[in-house]
Amino acid sequence: MKQTLLVLLCAGCFTSAHAQLPETSDSARTLQWVIVKAYEQNRQLKEVSASINYIDKTQLERFNNTSLLPALNATPGVHMEERSPGSYRLNVRGSTLRSPFGVRNIKVYWNGIPLTDPGGSTYLNQLSYYNVRSAEVIKGPAGSLYGAGTGGALLINSGADKEPAGVSASYTAGSYNLHNLHVQVRTGESDNRNAIGFAHQTSDGYREHTNMRRDVVTWEGNYRLKDNHVISTSVLYGDLYYQTPGGLNEAQYAANPRAARGPAGMFPGADQAKAAIYQQTFLAGISQDYQFNERFSNHSVVYGAFSLIKNPTFRNYEKRTEPHFGGRTVFTWQQQKGDTDWRILFGAEAQRGFFNVKTFRNLDGQPDTSETDDDVDTWIYSGFVQTDIHFRGNWSVSGGISVNQSAITITRLSVPGFVPVKQRFHNEWAPRLSISKKVLPGLLVYASVARGFSPPTSQEVLPSTTIISEDLEAEHGINYEAGIKSSWLQQRLYVEINAFYFRLQNAIVQRRDASNADYFVNAGSTRQRGIETQVQYQLLPRSKRFVSQAAIAVAHTLNHFRYNDFKQVSDDFSDKKIPSVADHTVAVRLDVSIRPGVYTHWTWYYSDPIPLNDANTAFASSYNLLGGRLGFRKPLAKNLLIDIFAGVDNAFDVQYSLGNDINAAAGRYYNAAPGVNYYGGIRVEFGKRRVSQ
């Protein structure tokens, strides 16, 4: 199988490609022309000396309009997981090593607002599919500009300020009683815009005990006060509920992958425990862009957020209240002298949270006897500076550095006279240096080195065992990277290849006790090597012909991730594969559209076996997935667009686990993903600007 995949990959490097089905007739473009915001560069992707995956609206709309997952997984070096509907994890180059649930070790921003809280956790599942218009994944340490984290950063933009005034409505229905509704109303002109949206999604899920419901209301505004001053607002309220079925062992997974976890010893099953997540989040941010003069500008954002989480589990009932606030400011100065373009930016980011975590005995899904009551005071801040210089001869140098501090204080209110546990992580420097050269008009070569650090999150210091981890240390490491970005054949072929070597010290890894509660330890060091390749090619030049667009893309990831020196008591895991990471993944995408308005998208995805524990004694099997979407998109009037579509996911009806519980007690690793499933929907847009196919 591996030999076949390698042949396909090599063939793809010379004959495959991708072009995006356009949202409007003037927006069709290949990936190389995309302007990315990563590292505040605001440059074309093909000119940025960093490894960045870019996903826009056209790539998101290739699938079933319910989540980011399939679009992210079709890019190299990234693997998003879903243990059950609404339960997401994001793996960037092995970052889920410390994520039993949620998103950790990756800094996430939504419209420039930190979505990652000061405790280090991100409730990415609080966003609906419709709250994302584009996303940029920065792979590897990005702390030189985005604070603590060794996994990378995710920059999400809703794009409401780019849409014309009008109304849009979408509805999708599918297998397992899936329903997904979205309505958005937009008002105003280019200088003053408002957008109000509502999204409602429900599903029964593939497995037993996997019902979910999510309601999200948003208000976004964009107001130009003066020619040089713009104010933007982003407000989101989300109410999310989803059931958690629990992991299965190998025998249970083989016998009935749709089953929820049953009773085990003194612990109840998922149904009896009423295991679920009840999550409400309110987020409000305001930002400004101010142009002092033609050389000097500022972008600043302040925000406040509040999350309320209730989580009945197999072993207890947890209630969390998490108010937090923060801000970020970036000043930019730029000047051009002769053939040299000089740009300097500097700024700071700070966040503060006052969390409270209560645990109770779980009595059939209701809180019973109080067990612990903890106040968690956490803060984090960073200051940063970056310089970008573009020299004569097509040389570019980018250098940045940040200084980071963080602290966490836990006070156990349920224990009289308890002495607060304080942990503070001092003056961690995170530098980054990259250099690039256009050796040919269509070929950029670059290399970079970056240091990252990531302190334990508040949920790692205070895990679900409720035992405070006083000895847990921050992890830190150095990443070396080199790559090429090239465009050929009259800009129709885009090839990007990057290789990296990441050495991580004091790696934080997840463990589980006999009750399957998670806790964390420092795992010595790791060696993480990889090669990530994406090739995109527009098969047909844009023309008036019957087949207006035809394109194909290949994304390949090769990982060689190993523990370097990791000993736990009598167990030596040195040289073992790092759990949760496949050696090879391949994604192939095909897009075709024809003039009458018919389009089709097909995606094939392959994953190698995935190690499930540190000892490498258990592996999830390899799998192949095929999915497709067929639709008709056509303007019916000057200002009216209709899009009708239907599709299939997992067309081969493959049994596989998407979101494995690493190092799970009693071998309960597996969370089965849906078998073959179908969907269909309709999208209608009415706006002032003429829309077209």
3-state SS of 104-119? ECEEEEECCEECECCC
Average pLDDT, the chain: 89
Is residue 337 classed exposed, middle or buried when 0-12, 13-18 and 19+ CB atoms within 10 A define those classes?
A: exposed
Handedness of CA 330, 335, 340, 341 (dihedral sign): positive
Mean pLDDT of 140-164: 87
Q: How much is the pLDDT for 351?
A: 97
| Of 234-243, 285-294, 450-459, the least confident | 450-459
DSSP 419-457: PPEEEEEEEEEEEEEEEEEEEETTEEEEEEEEEEEEPPP
Q: How much is the pLDDT for 688?
A: 66
In the chain, the amino acid numbered 360 is F
* Per-residue pLDDT tens digits for 343-367: 999 999 999 999 999 999 999 999 9
Q: How much is the pLDDT for 3?
A: 40
Q: How much is the pLDDT for 397?
A: 96
Mean pLDDT of 45-54: 92
Would you put residue 334 in left (φ > 0), alpha (ψ -120 to 50) or beta?
beta
State both tokens at 352: 């503060």
Q: How much is the pLDDT for 30?
A: 65
Q: How much is the pLDDT for 515?
A: 66
Q: How much is the pLDDT for 328?
A: 97
Measured CA to CA, the distance from residue 595 to residue 548 in angstroms comes to 6
Q: How much is the pLDDT for 542?
A: 65
Mean pLDDT of 544-561: 91
* pLDDT interval class at 19 (50, 70, 90): very low
Q: How far is CA 141 from CA 183, 332, 378, 388, 419, in A?
A: 37, 22, 22, 18, 35
Q: Which residue has the higher pLDDT, 60 or 566?
A: 60
Determine the longest span between alpha carbons in the chain, in angstroms: 79
Task: Kindly state the percentage of the chain with pLDDT values over 90.
Answer: 69
- Dihedral of CA atoms 135, 625, 615, 89 in degrees, nearest 10, equals 30
Q: How much is the pLDDT for 630?
A: 97
Mean pLDDT of 485-490: 88
Q: How far is CA 615 from CA 563, 574, 579, 659, in A?
A: 10, 9, 9, 19
Q: How much is the pLDDT for 425?
A: 83
Measured CA to CA, the distance from residue 223 to residue 229 in angstroms comes to 9
Q: How far is CA 688 from CA 130, 435, 473, 691, in A?
A: 21, 45, 55, 9
Confidence check: pLDDT of 301 > 50: yes
Query: Residues 218, 158: contact at Cβ < 8 Å?
Result: yes
Query: Residues 620, 669: contact at Cβ < 8 Å?
Result: yes
Q: How much is the pLDDT for 179?
A: 98
- pTM comes to 0.92
* pLDDT interval class at 657 (50, 70, 90): very high
Measured CA to CA, the distance from residue 40 to residue 347 in angstroms comes to 12
* pLDDT interval class at 27 (50, 70, 90): very low
Mean pLDDT of 654-670: 92
Query: Residues 181, 203: contact at Cβ < 8 Å?
Result: no
Measured CA to CA, the distance from residue 231 to residue 418 in angstroms comes to 46
* Per-residue pLDDT tens digits for 59-88: 999 999 999 999 999 999 999 999 889 999
* pLDDT interval class at 336 (50, 70, 90): confident
* pLDDT interval class at 104 (50, 70, 90): confident
Would you put residue 94 in left (φ > 0), alpha (ψ -120 to 50) or beta?
left
Q: How far is CA 175 from CA 27, 80, 205, 647, in A?
A: 33, 21, 9, 11
Measured CA to CA, the distance from residue 329 to residue 346 in angstroms comes to 8
Measured CA to CA, the distance from residue 136 to residue 428 in angstroms comes to 25
Confidence check: pLDDT of 457 > 70: yes
Residue 26 CB neighbours (<10 A): 8
* Per-residue pLDDT tens digits for 236-253: 999 999 999 999 999 999
Pairing of strands 598-607, 584-594: antiparallel
Domains of the chain: 2-687 (2.40.170.20)
What is the C-alpha radius of gyration for the chain, rounded to an integer number of angstroms? Answer: 24
